[in-house]
Amino acid sequence: MKNIVKKYEFYLFIIIVTLVIFFAVFSDNFLNLENFMDILISSSFIGIMAAGMLVVLISGGIDLSVTAIATVAQYIMAITIIDYNGNLFSAFMVAGIIGILLGTFNAFLIYYLRAPALIITIATLNLFYGATIFVTKGKWIYNFPDWFNQSHNLFSFTSADESHFYSGISLPVVILVLVFILTYIILKYTVLGRKIFAMGGNFEAARRAGFNMLGLTIFVYCYIGFLSGIGSVGQVLILHSVQPNAIVGRELEVIAATVLGGASLAGGAGSVFGTALGVALLAIVWNGLVIMGVSSYWHNVIIGLIIIFSVSINAYNRKKTLRGY
């Protein structure tokens, strides 16, 4: 029990429970199954990309171009399935491949130019997004095939008194869970995962140990690119439209959720469970404030304060660990 209390995730979980109780007390509409499903669905897109961002941050890098990659991937996916038809598998495959290609482009620039990943990915964010807006003229896409627009839920159910119908667990939520599981396995149980931690902990030491640094760099940026593509399809399944200007700008939400979950911007630290809690915390705060009717202008202020508080706890615990008590 003492070891659990020392963990940053424990305090993050306490904050989440406190917020849930707070919102439940002040709003009758917060603590119900339908709203819980809405929180899961609305947070699935950010959560999927946050899993990829976790891997990048652990490696010592960062990727601000994730939303631009998602924008490009979903637009090309939409045009492909509208012009050539297909199925859900082909939709995810096209978006995933585009994400991998753009992630590879980022990886090569970062590795060979030896420039900070922050600068490179800000540049590619503008490059990818600007090119997409130029080519598409910012047009929205709505006319998806019927098979794409139909409901993609794992199952449907009604309440005990049959007064409410719930659409069940949607496909984006299932994908979110699978992505977290996959990321956990990679980081926890594979040699590749241990190399990523070593790379982020000390890049030069990892290089001298004989690690393939180019290969590791390509993997982490391809992984986040792939998940950005997958997540972008999930978002289209929810919204039933492609809006070129709707995603870019949310990359800071992805980074915030990951850092809030305990990942270090310096590299070498982070956990899937912490990231999941970070995503959950942001989603609960957004949802609770909306239900309570709090002005949207205050949303970012409150979330910013929560992030500062949570990161302060993390920093305090790390200092105590270094001091040995």
- 3-class DSSP assignment, residue 265: coil
Count of domains for the chain: 1
Per-residue pLDDT, 151: 65
Q: Domain residues for 206?
A: 2-323
Query: Measured between alpha carbons, how far is 319 from 62 in angstroms, rounded to an integer?
Result: 24
Identify the residue whose tokens are 């997409």.
132
Query: Measured between alpha carbons, how far is 287 from 16 in angstroms, rounded to an integer?
Result: 13
Which CATH number goes with the domain that contains 241? 1.10.3470
pTM for the complete prediction?
0.88
Centre a 10 Å sphere on the Cβ of residue 139 and count the other Cβ atoms it contains.
12
Per-residue pLDDT, 1: 53
- Write the DSSP symbol of residue 170: B
List per-block mean pLDDT (blocks of 10 residues) for the chain, which spans 325 residues: 65 87 85 83 91 93 93 91 86 94 95 91 94 87 79 60 60 92 94 91 85 92 95 88 83 88 83 92 89 79 75 68 58
Helices (H) and strands (E) in the chain, counts: 14, 2
Query: Measured between alpha carbons, how far is 325 from 320 in angstroms, rounded to an integer?
Result: 6
Per-residue pLDDT, 150: 73
229 contact partners, CB below 8 Å, separation of at least 6: 69, 70, 73, 74, 77, 92, 95, 96, 97, 98, 99, 100
